[in-house]
């Protein structure tokens, strides 16, 4: 993909995280994304943004279910 392509993909992910919803599909496990994005730091930041809303939703549901048996 190259560095410019990896930066562009990260920009798309980061912008969607801030403004919209994003659905991604891949046949690569997360641990192999470094091969695509080229650096562990960029991969970690992208995965953080992709999973942040899911984590917030999960934590919110878990909190609600524990407080309302």
Confidence (pLDDT) at 62: 52
Confidence (pLDDT) at 33: 84
Confidence (pLDDT) at 60: 57
Q: What is the pTM of this model?
A: 0.61
Q: From first to last of its 69 residues, what are the pLDDT tens digits of the chain?
A: 788 888 888 888 888 877 777 777 788 887 888 888 888 998 888 888 888 766 555 555 555 445 555
The CA-based angle 48-24-51, given to 5 degrees, is 20
Burial-class residue 62 by CB neighbours within 10 Å (0-12, 13-18, 19+): exposed
User: Cα separation of 47 and 29, whole Å?
Assistant: 11
User: Cα separation of 50 and 26, whole Å?
Assistant: 13
């Amino acid at each position: 993909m190259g560095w410019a392509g990896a930066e562009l993909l990260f920009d798309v992910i980061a912008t969607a995280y801030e403004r919209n919803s994003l659905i991604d599909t891949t046949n690569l496990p997360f641990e192999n994304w470094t091969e695509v994005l080229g650096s562990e730091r960029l991969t970690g930041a992208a995965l953080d943004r992709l999973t942040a809303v899911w984590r917030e939703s999960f934590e919110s549901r878990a909190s609600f279910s524990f407080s309302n048996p």
